[in-house]
Amino acid sequence: MPFRVRLRRNRGRWLRRLFIAFVAFLAVVCGAAVVAYKLTVIPEPHPETVVQSTVFVDAEGSYLGRRGPVDRQEVPLSQVPRHVQDAVIAAENRSFRTDTGVSPRAIARAAWATVSGGAPQGGSTITQQYVKNALLSPERSLSRKAREALIAIKLDRTRDKDEILEGYLNTVYFGRGAAGVQAAARNYFDVAAKDLTVSQGAALASIVNIPSYYEKAGSDPKVTAKLRHRWEWVLDAMEAGGSITAGQRAEARFPAFRFYPPGGTEGQRQYLIDVAAKEAADRLGITEDQLARGGYTVHTTFDLALQDATAESAKERTKGGSGGGGSGGKGGVRVHTAVVGVEPGDGAVRVLYGGADYARQPFNDAVSGAVEAGSVLDPFAGVRLGGPLRGLRDVAAPTPLRLASAYAAVAAEGVHATPHTVARITREGRTVHTARPETRRVLDEKGAFVVTAQAKGPGFEGSSEAGSPGVDRAGVRDGGGAFLTAGAGGGITRRTVWSVGYDSRLTLAVALFADRPGAKKGTTVPAQLPNDPSPAGSAEELTRQIWDLAGGS
């Protein structure tokens, strides 16, 4: 039989065999996929993706800083505005609400890149990104990519889309060390996630694409311009998808960003966080490490605007001979500045300046510095003191915080309030601690009057009825308070200068003191304050500036 005839007769047989083999292969592959899917277990999130930091804010809610290994705080999806959710979906995965959790085209592209050694490919769905970032290791291989797809499909079939989006928004990295939308909102715009505007939400959604590059937005013109271009693209996609109206799109303005990297005052705030963290942990009955990892928000009593202004004023007023908390001078003399502002009758600490450079000196002079009292306690002479003030006159070296709280009691007509730096603590939107003033009468009203009269009397620099030179005392007189300048030592041997001002609204204590290296390594001993500029003049002027900034005049 001719070969062509045999080939014609056998071709149908071979085609049938190939078809059967293909169907069998397909059945095996599908069966294997079904078995693999059935055996696939959705893993728990990595520990590092669920650990949270604790955030500290000032009395008005402005971001102060954080404690914890990762800058992340979980928020329920209900606290993320819908326009922010829609912005992320528009930027990262526009079919998120309807897809199956995977993008076959993106998987094929990524698989080919892995096999061929090409550059890593993006384009994964939001579900896949969540699986990759929170549930799996960053390993790059075909088997890991296949597992990622299987978990994403199973996650999509067993979890609600909102639950997946919530997990993604709480773990995705936004740059600036911020993981999750809550930390990102704080780091970029100094607001909580729930307060993000349409423009801010679109900006954060734009950053997710290349967070390590875009984190410099606002400080690097080139980066800012590129991010603005992507921001426009995200907003256009939101309008096209019906997430925002044409009017909202037209009204959108590119947002202003917090400067990055942070400035010098950021480091100075660590003094505040140290004190508030210790107090918060004590109030909750946990360790400071547990607090740092607990995802709390600590609402402090500090006035951050006044605190930063105080830091700048201290730096300016004490340039030259008297450093703002740690400058070195002749003979190794180092001048320290400590400032405490307390609300009389409540004990809320509004200002706490413990040093100029936390990195060089983590020791807080305002809270822990034992400063020579000298004549600053003389106004309490002959007055009967009780409670926390009992024995005050016998203290040779009170801390600035203790001195401020003592004069605050005088300003509150004899009622002492224990100083506190924590007003409220919340966790996941729930209040777990609220501070209540701890008050106690420590001297009668007559005693408070006597202290104020003696503070205004002779023997104190700038202590007349009208106050010290250059200081408007109208608010102090009306509030029944006083200003005085006193200290330890005199003339060219002055070792400490105190400037204290108080009325019914605020008690302010400023201390200048000096030390120098001791005989033993790592020790210090008290030293004389440099006379240029005048320590008393510097302390009084600093007090005046802070008082005016606080609205005391």
User: For 148, how many CA atoms within 13 A lie in the half-sphere containing its CB?
Assistant: 28
Question: Taking Cα atoms as reference points, which of 227, 311, 215 lies closest to residue 271?
Answer: 311
Active site residues: 92, 375
Q: Are the beta carbons of 291 and 282 closer than 8 angstroms?
A: no
Compute the distance between CA of residue 398 and CA of residue 374 in angstroms, rounded to an integer: 10
Q: Are strands 415-417 and 507-517 parallel, antiparallel or unpaired?
A: unpaired
**Buried b or exposed e, range 128-138, using 16+ CB within 10 angstroms:** bbbbbbbbbee
Give the list of residues 6+ apart from residue 428 with CB closer than 8 angstroms, or none: 74, 75, 76, 295
Write down how long the chain is.
Answer: 553
Which CB contacts under 8 angstroms, 24+ apart, belong to 205-208? 205/84, 205/87, 205/88, 205/90, 205/91, 205/92, 205/234, 206/91, 206/230, 206/231, 206/233, 206/234, 207/174, 207/175, 208/88, 208/91, 208/92, 208/172, 208/173, 208/174
Q: Are the beta carbons of 64 and 57 closer than 8 angstroms?
A: yes
User: For 341, how many CA atoms within 13 A lie in the half-sphere containing its CB?
Assistant: 27
Q: What angle do CA 36, 38, 40 make, to 5 degrees?
A: 65
**SS3 labels along 361-387:** CCCCHHHHCCCCCHHHHHHHCCCCCCH
Beta-bridge partners for 349: 342
The angle that helices 198-207 and 82-92 make with each other, rounded to 10 degrees, is 30
Compute the distance between CA of residue 200 and CA of residue 197 in angstroms, rounded to an integer: 5
Give the list of residues 6+ apart from residue 500 with CB closer than 8 angstroms, or none: 376, 403, 404, 407, 455, 483, 484, 485, 486, 507, 508, 509, 510, 543
**SS3 labels along 437-468:** CCEEECCCHHHHHHHHHHHHCCCCECCCCCCC
Compute the distance between CA of residue 171 and CA of residue 154 in angstroms, rounded to an integer: 19
Question: Taking Cα atoms as reference points, which of 383, 298, 303 lies closest to residue 343?
Answer: 303
